[in-house]
Amino acid sequence: MAYFYVNDNPQSTGEHEVHQTGCVRLAKVKSKTGLGQHQSCHEALKAAAHIYKNVDGCATCSPDCHHR
Ligand SMILES: [Zn+2]
């Protein structure tokens, strides 16, 4: 289990990235919303989709969920 966050600020391409605790790219995120503990990035992405319509996994910490 890992704790996930979604970036409150979208990428230039419009999607909000989902990160795990400890991701190096999370340190650069100015504002984020906690998504709680999840078994995998797939569940975390579903939780993030309730907050933001356009979500994607981070390429660094959640490559399995990175599509764009
Ligand atoms: Zn990340």
In the chain, the percentage of residues whose pLDDT exceeds 90 is 97
Q: How far is the CA of 5 from the centre of ligand 1 (A)?
A: 9
- Model pLDDT for residues 24-47, shown as the tens digit of each residue: 999 999 999 999 999 999 999 999
Domain annotation covers residue 30: yes
**Does 68 score more than 90 pLDDT?**
no
Domain annotation covers residue 41: yes
> What's the total number of domains in the chain?
1
Domain annotation covers residue 7: yes
Q: How far is the CA of 39 from the centre of ligand 1 (A)?
A: 16
Residue 22's alpha-carbon distances to 8, 48, 53, 54, in angstroms, are 17, 18, 24, 23
Domain annotation covers residue 68: no
Amino acid 2: pLDDT: 97
Domain annotation covers residue 67: no
- Residues spanned by the domain of 57: 2-62
Please give the radius of gyration of the chain, using alpha carbons only, rounded to the nearest integer. 10
Q: How far is the CA of 52 from the centre of ligand 1 (A)?
A: 17
Q: How far is the CA of 7 from the centre of ligand 1 (A)?
A: 10
